[in-house]
Amino acid sequence: MSRGPMRIPRHRFRLSLGSESRARFHGLLTWNRVASAAVLKFTFSSETSLGMTKSLRQHLYFVLVLGLCAVIAACQLLATGTGNGFARKAANDSDACLPVGTWVDPDSRTQVDPLQVFSSLAAKSAVLLGESHPSVEDHRWQLHTLASLYGRNPNLVIGFEMFPRSVQSVLDAWVSGALNEQSFLEQVRWDEIWGYEAELYLPLFHFARQNRIPMIAINVQRELVQRVGDVGWSNVPDSEREGVSDPAPALEPYLHELAYIFLIKRAGNLGHDHSGFGDFEFDEEDLREVLTDPAFQRFAEAQSTWDRAMAEGLVAGISKHQASLAVGIMGSGHVEYGHGVAHQLKDLEVATVATTHPRRRL
């Protein structure tokens, strides 16, 4: 049994970018229409000569090139998915030799004008930029993409998974220029609330500050998500939900992806950024068993609570600042295939959402 993305009409574009760090980047832009809501999905991927990191496997799709294009007669390409442990259909062999620095339609293998792509993204109501939290390249890509969007639509806000709602006033002070870096990081309790190297995110924070773009704290306290995982959403009193409304039920493909993560977490080798993916597989019987496990159901509810909170944070930011676009900076696990935050945004009647996240090739 193998399972790909949701079976809905789609149009896709691929982007590949060169960089001085000996990394090559490739992206996938997918246009999906579900009911009356339009979902634009962009998967950005990197190809590096430095080796594959464990965090690579957090992505639902990743591509592994077996050697260099120049020395492989047919540019052999192996595409593997981590979704539920089952092998996915191999990608077209020509993917391995996509030209660097161009947007390419992966179906026709024709190049697409990047101006057209970014103009389309900038016209959406929300654009989600996924990341592997410790990846320097992911954050560089986020900054470059954010700058491109700002150049086309400066009436935007930026929502950050890194910050719980309780520190919103500190973000406002930072953007206004009232705080220096040290004071800002101290007052948001960076090491406590997030913990990854601040240097990874400071270019994004400075970009917002320099251009006076509102930064929105879209997360909730980690204790709320943990409590939902312990007792279930229905057993958390309304007064302790931090204003989060009932999440939309998770889509079945999302539940399958979460089941895989749940099993690996239970095995004890998966980090917060989903690093630790190995050659872990399970069969249909394992899947059926975990889907009916009450512990997994609470785990899925916790993830949906997390997604819902961030979706509501983005919507609130648009409303408060009368913005036409909200850009979300968050982990790729909340972004891939539109199952997470994008799904909750659609339930909140946000009509057009673009989901984007890195995807790597070796």
Work out the burial of residue 285: count CB atoms within 10 Å of its CB; fewer than 13 is exposed, 13-18 middle, 19 or more buried.
exposed
Write the DSSP assignment of 189-234 as a string of letters. Answer: THHHHT-S-GGGTHHHHHHHHHTTPPEEEEE--HHHHHHHHHH-GG
Amino acid at 47: E
In a domain, residue 184? The reply is yes
Residue 130 and residue 115 in contact, taking contact as beta carbons nearer than 8 Å? no
Counting the structural domains of the chain, the total is 1
Evaluate whether 329 touches 133 at the Cβ level (below 8 Å). Answer: no
Cα separation, 28 vs 51, whole angstroms: 21
Instruction: Read off the pLDDT of each residue in 189-209 and give the average, rounded to a whole number.
Output: 97
| pLDDT greater than 50 at residue 63 | no
- Give the Cβ contact number of residue 322 at 10 Å: 8
Is the residue at 249 inside a domain?
A: no
Q: In the prediction, which pLDDT does 36 show?
A: 29
The reply to whether 265 falls in a domain is no
Instruction: Identify the CATH number of the domain in which residue 67 sits.
Output: 3.40.50.11550
Residue 248 lies in a domain: no
For residue 174, what is the enclosing H or E element? helix 168-176
Does a structural domain hold residue 338?
yes
- pLDDT exceeds cutoff 60 at 289: yes
Mean pLDDT of 95-109: 56
Does 85 have pLDDT greater than 70?
no
335 pLDDT higher than 70 = yes
Distance (Å, whole) CA 187 – CA 169: 10
* Residue 21 clears pLDDT 50, i.e. is over it: no
pLDDT single digits (tens) 156-194: 999 999 999 999 999 999 999 999 999 999 999 999 999
Q: Which residue has the higher pLDDT, 46 or 67?
A: 46
Q: What mean pLDDT is predicted for residues 20-47?
A: 35
Q: Are 3 and 256 in contact (CB under 8 A)?
A: yes
Q: How confident is the model at residue 235 (pLDDT cuts 50, 70, 90)?
A: very high
pTM here is: 0.74
69 sits in the region (left: phi over 0; alpha: psi -120 to 50; else beta) called: alpha
Domain encompassing residue 90: 10-223+300-358
| Sequence-ordered list of residues with C-beta below 8 angstroms from that of 76, at least 6 positions apart, any chain | 65, 66, 67, 93, 96
Q: Select from 88, 83, 126 the least CA-distant residue to 319.
A: 126
What the block records as the tokens of 205 is 């924070």
User: Would you state the pLDDT for residue 337?
Assistant: 83
Question: Whole-angstrom Cα distance, residue 326 to residue 351?
Answer: 12
Q: If you search the block for the tokens 């560089």, which residue do you land on?
A: 140
Q: Is residue 62 part of a domain?
A: yes
Contact 216, 171 (CB under 8 A): yes
In this prediction, residue 104 carries a pLDDT of 54
| pLDDT interval class at 100 (50, 70, 90) | low
> In this structure, is residue 252 part of a structural domain?
no
Query: In this structure, what token pair is assigned to residue 318?
Result: 């648009």
Where residue 35 falls (left for φ over 0; alpha for ψ -120 to 50; beta otherwise) is left
- What is the torsional sign of CA 109, 110, 115, 119? negative
Highest mean pLDDT among 40-49, 83-92, 205-214 belongs to: 205-214
